Structure 1
Amino acid sequence: MKISVKDVQGQQEAVLRVSPETNVLEVKEFVARGMGIPLAQQQIIFSGNALSDDGKKLADYAVTEGSVLYVLLKKPEPETTVLRDSTYRFLRQYYNESDSKKIVEHFMKRFNQSVTTLSLDDLERIATTFLQDEQKLLSM
């Protein structure tokens, strides 16, 4: 089925070919790739209701052929990074939105604390190991 996704400012619109089994997270990932709106800043709206559970299927929200979904931009969260987004996407497969955000916040805080305590020698060892591993992969 085809559905439309529009931003509320009316600046961008996309037509998606999806199935009723497509989940909300997959729609959000398309919006991130196709419309350039980061996952963490998206709120998907259909018929005045937020599609807040990323694991639910479009059919669970009664999205059908020709439906129009709207994307609201939420305030950007601090330090939106690839690591944060990837961790959030992974966690959303197993936890609800609220728990995923809490886990990501705690993880990022601990991660930043760990990285800032590394010495230059530690960073050099990590970089050297990474480059050696990368060279091994390329030589295969």
Structure 2
Amino acid sequence: MDVRPGSAIVQVLTDPASTVGAHVVRTRTPGIVEGEPRGTIRFKYLARDGAALQVGDVLVTSGQGGLFPRGIPIGRVRAIDDRGAALFNYAALDPAVDFGRVDEVLVVTGRSPQDLTAYFLTGG
């Protein structure tokens, strides 16, 4: 990643090397959003009672790890891959943005203790 006046090189969520802590807004189910080689993203979460996801659920950054502020929209659940008794389940996501059409980026410096969920999901 690199930021200069008038340009930026960024790593998008669809990059297979990209991971970000996330949670489901409706249930607070935590997990990790991972980029995949085919240019899509998926949500990896612990399979446990009460963690049932639904198609259409919204995921946001969790704020864990200190890299991204909490509450930035990541995407919506498109499909759920229930692996039964497996430790982890996966959900395919539709990204909140079209990464092929990004013209501007916001550079966040320092740490923001603020939860940004309400700002992004209600339009500010």
Which TM-score bucket, shorter chain as reference? 0.3 to 0.5
Structure with bigger helix share is 1
**Could you state the TM-score of these two structures normalised by the residue count of structure 1?**
0.30
Higher relative contact order (CA 8 A, sep 6+): 1
**Could you state the TM-score of these two structures normalised by the residue count of structure 2?**
0.33
Structure with bigger strand share is 2
